[in-house]
Amino acid sequence: MGKKLGRAKKKSKLNAKLEDAEVTKAPHTFVFPRGHVGSNVQQLVTDMRRVMEPFTASKLKVRKKNVLKDFVSVAGPLGVSHFISFSKTTNGVNMRIARLPKGPAMHFKVLKYSLSKDIISMLKRPKSAQGQYRTAPLLVLNEFKTKESNEKIPDLDSVNPQKLCATMLQNMFPSINIHKVNLNHVQRCVLFNCVDNNRIEFRHYNINVKPIGMSRRIKKIVTQQNVPNLGKFADVSEYLTNKGDGSASESEVELDDQNNEVELPQKMVGAGNMKNHQSAIRLTELGPRMMLELFKVEEGMHDGEVLYHSFIEKTEEEKTITRIAREKKKSAKALRKKQQDINIKKKEEEKLENKKRSIAGMKRKADEDPDDDKQYYRDEVGSDPEEDLSPPKKFRKNRPSNFKSKNEKSTANKFKSKSSLKRGMPQRNVSSKSKNSKKFVSTQRKTGATRRK
């Protein structure tokens, strides 16, 4: 009988079987801070982790000693495809999005931001669906210029930053199959709105669907579980036609508009959201909210050639000089790596040779058996030793080097006492002490005899 599996191992095996191939192929992200950022930026990092759930490490722990190389080494086995890092300088907060393993990396300047707790505190009726973070959000890109204008001839070396940014953001979120998607799983929405040339607005919403095409009183009867109080009315028609209680207030906007009307292809969660019926979509902001500015695009993981920079423009000569310097640096690094591999291989070979040499020496020592005292006695004396004189072989091997028998100890003590007398060391008067003790015993006997009398 094999050992029984624990509850945790059974659960992990079951989850591994249930994990779909689409989940493994979906892009995964790491969201982490770089350096000292402060409490507000740290809270922004946690809010972004909530946005990127469930395909992110929501409890990722970062230490001060961790560098980018540590995250790259861990990301491969875990299937992480993107990094989102936040850093803080004297000029402001920066955000970087990098694609693993060979880039590119995009640098954004966070012009202004609002945390999730601030946005929720501003809302009059904040809403959050149960289990809305169990599925990935829906990505919406607006006003991104992905195509070149017909008037300008595109240069081969030039890069369209908006097109590159749009493709990077699309690859960060899992793709959706329109024919197989379940609309009940689409509960959140992420919006990237390109305001100006390189300024992007980021928003995060909750998606809710409400039935339309009926009055507010009928909607109350359909959606609410409790039946409204009809004691004031003689008939149900009075409740439906009366303009008093149940009408829409000024703060609540009716969404019976053509822009918000949608015909549902599936039945969705909520009363009245039936298939092939008209419904209205309501968006409630969850946060965080950011205004980003793209200012730099570079190849690789923050160590390649700069493809685009909004602040710095270089000539062709400067570009060639930086390219040559970068190639020299890469070649020197490759040579150092090669030399390190050769040194490691050499040390391993030396280690194996020493091991073989030590094993051969141990075998030779066992064959020679230099600790055989009987053979040594035969060679020196010419006869076999007596059995009483030679100790057993096991005891002789196990006893320590400073081991001494009782006879040896007694002779050593005698030698010490004689040497101390020769040197003139003070000795205790043993005979006087013994005489005193005898006197004490005799006096005790005499006192005992007198008492008896």
CB–CB of 40/92 below 8 Å? no
Q: Which two tokens stand for residue 314?
A: 């270089």
Q: For residues 233 and 211, give the distance between their C-alpha atoms in angstroms, rounded to a whole number.
A: 26
Place 447 in a pLDDT band, splitting at 50, 70 and 90: low
Q: What is the pLDDT of residues 53-97, one digit of tens each?
A: 999 999 999 998 899 889 999 998 888 999 999 999 999 999 999
- The per-residue pLDDT of the chain, averaged, comes to 77
Residue 13 Cα to chain centre, angstroms: 21
Query: Which region holds residue 369: left if phi is over 0, alpha if psi is between -120 and 50, else beta?
Result: left
Residue 53 is predicted with a pLDDT of: 92
Fill in the amino acid letter for 17: K
What is the rounded radius of gyration, in angstroms, for the C-alpha atoms of the chain? 44
For residue 68, count other CB atoms closer than 10 A to its CB: 16
Residue 347 is predicted with a pLDDT of: 94
**Residue scoring higher pLDDT (337 or 257):** 337
- 198 membership: H or E segment, kind and range: none
Range ranked top by mean pLDDT from 158-162, 253-257, 394-398: 158-162
CB–CB of 263/278 below 8 Å? yes
Fill in the amino acid letter for 114: S
Give whole-number Cα distances, 57 to 19, 87, 296, in Å.
17, 19, 26
pTM above 0.85? no
Place 430 in a pLDDT band, splitting at 50, 70 and 90: very low
Place 437 in a pLDDT band, splitting at 50, 70 and 90: low
Q: For residues 303 and 105, give the distance between their C-alpha atoms in angstroms, rounded to a whole number.
A: 9
CB–CB of 24/78 below 8 Å? no
Place 377 in a pLDDT band, splitting at 50, 70 and 90: confident
CATH code matching the domain that covers 17-148+157-211+281-313, chosen among 3.40.50.1010, 3.40.1440.60, 3.40.50.720, 3.40.50.10480: 3.40.50.10480
Q: What is the pLDDT of residues 153-165, one digit of tens each?
A: 445 456 788 899 9
Residue 222 is predicted with a pLDDT of: 65
Give whole-number Cα distances, 345 to 97, 338, 348, in Å.
38, 11, 5
pLDDT at 398 over 70: no
pLDDT at 207 over 50: yes
pLDDT at 333 over 80: yes
Q: Which residues contact 35 (CB under 8 A, 6 or more apart)?
A: 87, 88
Q: What is the pLDDT of residues 99-121, one digit of tens each?
A: 998 889 999 999 999 999 999 99
Q: Which of 88, 89, 310 is nearest to 198 (CA)?
A: 310
Q: Which of 209-218, 300-309, 413-422 has the lowest mean pLDDT?
A: 413-422
Residue 344 is predicted with a pLDDT of: 94
316: phi then psi, degrees, rounded to nearest 5: -65, -35
Residue 157 is predicted with a pLDDT of: 55
Residue 368 is predicted with a pLDDT of: 64
pLDDT at 429 over 60: no
- Which residue(s) pair with 308 in the sheet? 297
pLDDT at 383 over 90: no
For residue 225, count other CB atoms closer than 10 A to its CB: 5
Residue 47 is predicted with a pLDDT of: 95
Q: What is the pLDDT of residues 259-294, one digit of tens each?
A: 677 778 788 777 667 787 778 888 899 989 999 999
Q: Which of 116-125, 243-252, 272-281, 301-310 has the lowest mean pLDDT?
A: 243-252
Query: Which region holds residue 397: left if phi is over 0, alpha if psi is between -120 and 50, else beta?
Result: alpha
3-state secondary structure of 404: coil
Q: For residues 44 and 52, give the distance between their C-alpha atoms in angstroms, rounded to a whole number.
A: 12
DSSP E strand stretches across 264-321: 278-285, 289-298, 306-309
Place 412 in a pLDDT band, splitting at 50, 70 and 90: low
Q: Which of 33-47, 50-64, 360-374 has the lowest mean pLDDT?
A: 360-374
